Chain A
Amino acid sequence: MSIIVLAEHNNNELKSATLSAINAASNIDDKIDILVVGSECQNVVNTLKKIKIIKKIIVVDDPKYLNSIAEFISPILISLSKDYSHILAAASTFGKNVMPRVAALLDVAQISDIIKIENDDTFVRPIYAGNALATVQSTDTIKVITIRPTSFDPVTFDEGEAEIENLSFENENNKVEFIKREETKSDRPELGTARIVISGGRGLGSAENFSLLNEIADKLNAAVGASRAAVDAGYISNDSQVGQTGKVVVPDLYIAVGISGAIQHLAGMKESKIIVAINKDEEAPIFNVADYGLKADLFEALPQLSLELDKLNTIQK
């Protein structure tokens, strides 16, 4: 058995979801190679060199691979696939975009978003928004898998000893063209990996009112998330959505403010270590999963919370 992991990066930094995918791979076998497709992505390769369990880093570095286009990346993976029993990537929007293409071209099924590895062909994955867990066994000779990053710790850095293999690959696809990427810039921790997440729902009432959450996020060094209702209403950008069709987060502390707790939202946060819910409706389903519930008007509770956190900080100093 040997495994190839598809790296996700922005040509400069490796995404931490890939570190989780490498860890997941190491639960299957210790023969792990990694594929980096990008343009001037030497920094990414340097980062990967520091991971001890990687045997080989295959690098396709060419200006035409500047943007992660699924149609360009999948043929590269196909050309390498015969040497591998497993092809892994994180179940991020990048992995979800590329991997089913790879599976279909190899005529194998894909196993999506696994949270646990039983053995080299058997995996556990959530279905129905995480309200059921399916244990599935793949009968394909090559297993194409995406892993849920929050279910596998990122591998740590060390002295690596990976061999580097530079590969050039002709891209014949001229049907698709990258136009632009609008990334939401924030100084706060990344939503997917933050230790604390504070999320707002429709109860916030407006985009402006999210500043109440932002203020607390800054005091807790937290990421800001949102329910689908808040994103649909235009209060906050799509990359903040937590839930079945958004991001899955598993922080140490998740604070849900003005979020009723629809099944689709719970799917994205109910594995959090501690859940706090602040809602004025005491019947809101979010209270069923909360460790600490507070029935309150958020417009009163949030400024108070901000003050209490200040007090705490003063005592600590």
Chain B
Amino acid sequence: MKILVTVKRVIDYNVQIRVKADGSGVETDNVKMSMNPPDENAVEEALRIKESGKADEVIIVSVGDEKAQETIRTALAMGADRGIHIKVPHDVEPLNVAKILEKIVEKEQPKLILMGKQAIDDDNNQTGQMLSAKLGWSQGTFASKIELENDHAIITREIDEGLETIKTSLPLVATCDLRLNDPRYASLPNIMRAKKKTIDKYTSEELGIDVSLRIKQLKVTEPPKRQKGIMVANVEELVQKLKYEAKII
């Protein structure tokens, strides 16, 4: 069984982003980039499934500019087998990505697709569900546990009320929560080995996918800044302030 794992190159989660002065977006020049955090969980889960003998191959896919290949290499260094990079002419929307991935699924015929539940840059939380719908497959979103059996999976999902467990047949798109596992670090020998692994390269045009955008980003602004407050000396003062100044308790 093949597992397809998607990864996205995003601004590192520790970076305090800066909005461009002209309102056209967020500054990405000279900013540290990393793999989208829940995508690391997806890669890790795929590797564990392969190591347990339930899958033969882990294929990493990324849609983005040339540099997305660095993120694919990171996943290959963690232990994935090979990569596929689809170059796009500009930033794309989840719907575009779902259509591109649908094409790759046609080529590769995986039984399981693992994705991060959300990218921490656009915070859309859409692509996995969209891909699942396009393929007519089942979806297991926000997964914090995935148990694979012969022709089905038992998935524990993190929902607002607590946890939900579903059983779905394969093929399946699962989107991974940060609590699914602890992603491994790539060892130096594995980083070296990853350099020799194959990355197949396509463009969205070669795949015949129209990547025109349905949503126009008119402007990006900074949210209103919070005024820094005061430090209180002790708990008694805190309670007095909340009671008589903020009048909140």
A binds B: yes
Give residues in A with beta carbon < 8 Å to B.
Answer: 69-71, 74, 92-94, 96-105, 107-113, 122, 126-140, 175-184, 192, 196, 220, 228, 231-232, 237-239, 244-245, 247, 252-253, 263-264, 270, 273-276, 282, 287-296, 301, 304-305, 308-309, 312
Across the interface, do B161 and A109 meet the contact criterion of CB distance under 8 Å?
A: no
Interface size class, chain B: 35 or more
Report yes or no: B220 in contact with A134, Cβ–Cβ below 8 A: yes
* B178 close to A245 (CB less than 8 A): yes
Question: Given contacts A103-B126, A135-B218, A247-B160, are A292 and B230 in contact (CB under 8 A)?
Answer: yes
Is A301's CB under 8 angstroms from B235's CB? yes
Cβ distance B184 to chain A, nearest Cβ, rounded Å: 16
Tell me, yes or no, whether B195 is within 8 Å of chain A by CB. Answer: no
Q: Total number of A-B contacts with CB less than 8 angstroms?
A: 257
Whether A100 and B133, one on each chain, are in contact in the complex, defined by CB atoms closer than 8 angstroms, is yes
Contact, CB under 8 Å: B125 / A180: no
Q: Which 3 pairs, one residue from A and one from B, show the smallest C-beta to C-beta distance?
A: A100-B129, A291-B229, A104-B130
Is B164 in the interface zone, CB < 8 Å from A? yes
B residues 177-196 near A (Cβ < 8 Å) are: 177-179
Which of B11, B121, B226 has the most CB atoms of chain A within a 10 A radius of its CB? B226
CB atoms of A292 and B242 under 8 A apart: yes
When C-beta atoms are compared, the residue in chain A nearest to B96 turns out to be: A109
Chain B residues within 8 Å of A181, by CB: 159, 161-165
- Closest residue of chain B to A123, judged by CB? B215
Contact partner, B179, options A98, A112, A136, A231, Cβ 8 Å: A231
Contact B159 A133 (CB under 8 A): no
0 or 1 for each of B109-150: is its CB under 8 Å from A? (1 = yes): 000000001101111111111111110011101101000000
Q: Do A176 and B248 touch across chains, with their CB atoms under 8 A apart? A: no
Interface SS of chain B: mixed
What chain B residues lie within 8 Å of A295 (beta carbons)? 231
| Minimal beta-carbon separation of A133 from chain B (angstroms) | 5
- Closest Cβ–Cβ distance, residue B41 to chain A (whole Å): 11
B220 adjacent to A132 (CB under 8 Å): yes
CB-defined A-B contacts under 8 Å, sample of 5: A128-B123, A175-B138, A179-B166, A182-B163, A292-B231
Given A93-B142, A128-B121, A101 contacting B160 (CB threshold 8 A)? no
Instruction: Of the listed stretches B12-20, B51-59, B69-77, name the one at the interface; the rest are far from the partner chain.
Output: B12-20
Neighbour of A132 across the interface among B141, B216, B223, CB < 8 A: B223
Contact of B17 with A104 in the complex, beta carbons under 8 Å:
no
B90: interface (CB < 8 Å) = no
Known interface pairs A110-B126, A184-B162, A291-B229; A104-B223 also in contact (CB < 8 Å): no
Given contacts A108-B95, A181-B163, A238-B162, contact A100 B125 (CB under 8 A): yes
Q: Which residues of A contact B139 (CB under 8 A)?
A: 70-71, 97, 101
Q: Report how far A135 CA is from B164 CA in the complex, Å.
A: 34
